[in-house]
Amino acid sequence: MAALLRVENLVKTFGGLVAVDGASFEVAAGSITGLIGPNGAGKSTLFDMIAGATHPDSGRIVFDGEDVAGLKTHEMFHRGIVRTFQIPHEFGRLTVLENLMVVPAGQPGETLTGPFLAPAAVAAREIEVRDRALSVLDFLSLGHIADELAQTLSGGQKKLLELGRTMMAEPRLVLLDEPGAGVNPTLLGKLADMIRRLNREQGYTFCIIEHDMALIASLCDPVIVLAEGQVLTQGTMDEVRADARVLDAYLGGAEAA
Amino acid sequence: MTKVLELESVSGGYGETEILHDVSLQVGDGEVVVIIGPNGAGKSTAMKAVFGLLRLSHGTIRLKGAEITRMPPQEVVRHGVCYVPQTANIFPNLTVEENLEMGAYVREDDFRPRLAEIYAMFPPLRERRASAAGTLSGGQRQMVAMGKALMLDPTILLLDEPTAGLSPKFRGEIFDTIRHINGAGTPILMVEQNAKQALAIADRGYILVDGQNRLDDTGPALLANPEVAEMFLGGAS
């Protein structure tokens, strides 16, 4: 499989703290790649850089053959890189449907003059976006709460909505930051099924940060292990689990001797 | 060995979410006890339960045999429990000395002798006594936080991930400091991600998984236990 994303020697420091220390890895097109590692390993900082929220001190982020390191969040988004957050970032006072409908960029109704000069185009695009949003809600089994305010949703439903918002972007690479955190076991099973279906049926490429090892084991291949800002090893979950250095990293023992 | 702190079948959480399920643990006189476990295991939550920061649905917490269950933090402090949170644990715009004085806020007697003892315990803090605490290195800031908590000469000191975000060198210094504080007579209960280093200086450790007790033993015994790998990395599929 070809690499959709290739990270080369990324470095990011905050003051004296080296958060990412020369990390290199690839995310193959069509894969569900897992990113695990102990707290402070640099996982979320890597996501921040790939999504353009923060910029690397050095190194390259090659997406689809182009070095995108240093681009801003919206530029990454336009290239098809979309991320979710550990804590969902929904618009609480918009409805569930509206939360999805605001995602696609460049809608003609966004401009000041559009609704006056090209009302038909605005209406046509809005119908198109609404249809797409309704089909996403259908996929997520959230159709029944389309008109509820997002702030009234349960934590688990907000996680689903967050996934739905990434679907609206028609992404090429979806970065999921702890999709399982705070989700009850029943919903977690459904969420895993949805991620798997999006991957198999719609060709989505995922890169997932997760602490729930069972979820990682059931979804991800390969699994990349990050420790102290560097890639320690990678392979199937069974392979990395069998690597003594991985447990060592989780127990923080590597540099203790 | 007398029990300084005792949690007996403690359950509780935030809002409607239950995080701890029948957690029991003890800290004996003179001990350093560490709680380890994978992310989301409830380690910090267990500590917050002691300090009155958690809604408890069940269980009993005793300090030297006296019940402190559901006591609010401002009373727990007066009973001799001091807690150093993981973040936001100093006043960055106050000087080091002012931070330590704030630690003595609830003392009604003369705290100056204790201040001298704290400086003796942490010599770098004496040197930087007039500097704004926020200008210190990460390791020294952690010393300020611990020194501040020790101003009350607590019955027990609770430390939530004292080495989080520190470089390996500072981590070692902090663990040395913890051993030193304990050597001066203060029992310590701490939560740590750096399990190996923490267990190396601790008398005993507890492993929590999914808000429940899974193992407790001496440090070397825990590190030699093959079940620990499964707790951190899941079972082979």
Distance CA A73, CA A57 (A): 17
Q: Is residue B237 part of a domain?
A: no
Chain A interface residues (partner B, CB cutoff 8 A): 16-17, 38-40, 181-182, 211, 213-214, 216-218, 237-238, 241-242, 246-248, 250-253, 255-256
The minimum CA-CA distance between A100 and chain B, rounded to whole Å, is 28
Q: Is residue B18 part of a domain?
A: yes
The ranges of chain A annotated as CATH 3.40.50.300 are 3-90+156-250
Which of A87, A177, A213, A236 to probe the B interface (max B CBs under 10 A)?
A: A213
Residue A182 has what pLDDT? 77
Q: What is the ipTM of this complex?
A: 0.75
Structure tokens at B178: 């913890």
pLDDT in tens, A86-117: 777 888 899 999 999 988 877 777 777 777 77
SS3 B139: helix
Domain range enclosing B23: 3-223
Which among B165, B192, B236 has the least Cβ separation from residue A241?
B236
Please identify every stretch of chain B with a pLDDT value under 50, giving residue numbers as ranges.
none
SS3 B231: helix
Q: Is residue B231 part of a domain?
A: no
Residue A1 has what pLDDT? 61
Q: Which residues of A touch B236 (CB under 8 A)?
A: 238, 241-242
Closest CA to A55 of A46, A65, A44: A46
Q: Is residue B230 part of a domain?
A: no
Q: Is residue B234 part of a domain?
A: no
Structure tokens at B135: 């200008």
Q: Is residue B228 part of a domain?
A: no
> Structural domain tally of chain B?
1
The amino acid occupying position B133 is A
SS3 A244: helix
Residue B84 has what pLDDT? 95
Which among B38, B193, B236 has the least Cβ separation from residue A252?
B193
pLDDT in tens, A118-134: 788 888 888 888 999 99
Closest CA to B88 of B127, B136, B141, B25: B141
Q: How confident is the model at residue A253 (pLDDT cuts 50, 70, 90)?
A: low
The minimum CA-CA distance between B196 and chain A, rounded to whole Å, is 5
The minimum CA-CA distance between A38 and chain B, rounded to whole Å, is 8
CATH code of the domain in which B19 resides = 3.40.50.300
Q: Do B234 and A217 touch (CB under 8 A)?
A: yes
Structure tokens at A190: 């459904």
Q: Are A68 and A79 in contact (CB under 8 A)?
A: yes
Angle at B52 between CA B46 and CA B53, to 5 degrees: 70
Q: Write down the mean pLDDT value for chain A.
A: 89
Q: Do B195 and A252 touch (CB under 8 A)?
A: yes
Q: Are B135 and B91 in contact (CB under 8 A)?
A: no
Residue A255 has what pLDDT? 47
Distance CA B65, CA B58 (A): 18
CATH of A3-90+156-250 given 3.40.50.300, 3.40.50.960, 3.90.1150.10, 3.20.20.80: 3.40.50.300
Q: What share of chain B is helix, strand, coil (3-state, %, to 5)?
A: 40, 30, 35
B196 in contact with A, Cβ within 8 Å: yes
Sort residue B234 into left (φ over 0), alpha (ψ -120 to 50) or beta: left
pLDDT in tens, B187-206: 999 999 889 999 999 999 99
Q: Is the pLDDT of residue A187 over 90?
A: no
Q: Is residue B92 part of a domain?
A: yes
Q: Residues with Cβ < 8 Å from B40, sequence gap 6 or more?
A: A181, A211, B210
Helices B138-150 + B168-183 axis angle, to 10: 20
Q: Is the pLDDT of residue A257 over 50?
A: no
Which among A211, A237, A256 has the least Cβ separation from residue B237?
A237
Q: Is residue B46 part of a domain?
A: yes
pLDDT in tens, A122-172: 888 888 889 999 999 999 999 999 999 999 988 888 889 999 999 998 899
A214 vs B234, higher pLDDT: A214
Distance CA B119, CA B97 (A): 10
